[in-house]
Homo-oligomer: A and B are copies of this chain.
Amino acid sequence: MKTISSRQNALFKRVRRAIDEHAEEIVMEGPKAIDDAIANGWKPIAVVGREGAPVRGLGGEVLLSAALFDSLASTVTSQGVIALFERPSFGDLFADRDRIIVALDGVQDPGNVGTIVRLAAAFDAGGVVLLPGTADAYSPKSIRASAGAILTVPLASMTGDELLARDWPLFAADANGKAIDPPSRGAVIVFGSEGDGVSPEIAEGATRIAIPMSKRIESLNVASSAAVLLARSYALR
């Protein structure tokens, strides 16, 4: 198998672009995430190994020199293999009234965004709406945190007005809200930033839900809040 060692190589540049811009193509790191994606029916455009790493027989494999590979990948999580996939596209998130939709409003940490995408898959949400100020869900850090769910969960970037125009019932996670059960279908649950919560235009029309907890701490991490409410919503179906 040929080993690519030039930065001018077209495939190298294409992978680099997918990592930086992730506009039409995205990169997944590590054998587990790649195998999961393939098991879910996704076909990699290319599987890229690090020179000296074992070839995995997945097809479409290419080797990069160690220096070139390390300039691309987070070596901690890639374990010597990354793969290029087409960025998924989906129909309307709001098509299925039997599901809930998750919306993220100013969630800045890409790790939290990816973790919540994973939770959306786990608890069978219709998709995740990314409101302004939310980290890019297709960034490498978010893709990693999604543990493969990034390929299967419909995502849509929207403004607050666009979300409101959908006219679905809105619920907002809010420590000052009421300790009620979350909706189990046909509604949007919005999670805001840890510091500022959900933005006023969204909060105004939303039912605010608090998670019952002790007074030993002020708030939960946003991904923890999402885990609690989405799991409960799913259990109530």
Contacts and interface: CB of A to CB of B under 8 A. Distances in A.
Interface string A205-216: 000000111101
Contacts of A223: 221, 223-224, 227
Interface residues of A, number: 33
B119 A216 contact: no
Contact of A118 (B115, B148, B217, B228): B217
A194 to B, nearest CB: 9
Contacts of A122: 213-214, 216-217, 220, 224
A234 B220 contact: no
Contact of A228 (B115, B216, B228): B228
Instruction: Classify the secondary structure of A's interface with B.
Output: helix
Tally of this chain's copies = 2
Interface in A87-136: 111, 115, 118-119, 121-124
A220 B124 contact: no
A124 B217 CA distance: 9
Contact of A221 (B118, B212, B213): B118
B212 A118 contact: no
A74 to B, nearest CB: 14
Contacts of A227: 220, 223-225, 227-228, 231
